Structure 1
Amino acid sequence: MKMDKKAFAIQTFEEAADHQKHYKNLPEEEKKDLFFKLMQAAYGFVGEDWPKMDKNHFEVRPLSKNEKSKT
């Protein structure tokens, strides 16, 4: 899944800074909903649930001796 870079408008630094003031005062639940909507627009799954993670890119490996001593 690739991000659709055309989904958002280009802003100046001043415009982007003005948005931070607005979002800082929102309740956590509303911030969560807005984040979800932005992710939907960015990755093209508007109106759908979060896509399932493609686990083919991950593998389980045994820890090396150096990694075991750090834990």
Structure 2
Amino acid sequence: MKMDKSAFKVQTFKEAADHQKHYQNLSEEEEKDLFFKLMQAAYGFVGEDWPKMDKNHFEVRSLLENEKTPRQAR
């Protein structure tokens, strides 16, 4: 895979630091698309669907010491 050098532009440090202006002008749909692409890159599933959550690794429990969870109350 080669890096697409046309995706970047030459800019000053001041211009590069002012990146928030660009993100404030995005539509909600563009924000969602950007978030999805960043998550794909961060978690290594680029070009694939969002992975399903493996619910076997989680359990329901109360944050309070004396309170029972819904499963314990049965």
TM-score, normalised on structure 1?
A: 0.59
| Structure 2: runs of 5+ lacking an equivalent | 1-13, 69-74
Which 4+ runs in 1 deviate beyond 6 A?
none
1:20-40 per-residue CA deviation (whole Å, 9 max, x = no partner) reads 110011111001101101111
Cα distance in 2 between the residues matched to 1:41 and 1:61: 32
Secondary structure at the aligned position of 1:26 is classed as coil
- 1:38 corresponds in structure 2 to 38
Shift of the alpha carbon at 1:65?
Answer: 4.0
| Structure 1: runs of 5+ lacking an equivalent | 1-13
What is the aligned-residue RMSD (CA, Å)? 2.6
Q: Which structure is higher in helix share?
A: 1
1:56 paired with 2:56, answer: yes
1:29-65 per-residue CA deviation (whole Å, 9 max, x = no partner) reads 0011011011111111011010111212211236754
Q: Point out the structure with max Rg over C-alpha.
A: 2
List aligned pairs for 1:15-34, cutoff 5 A. Answer: 15=16, 17-34=17-34
User: Partner letter of residue 46 of structure 2?
Assistant: V
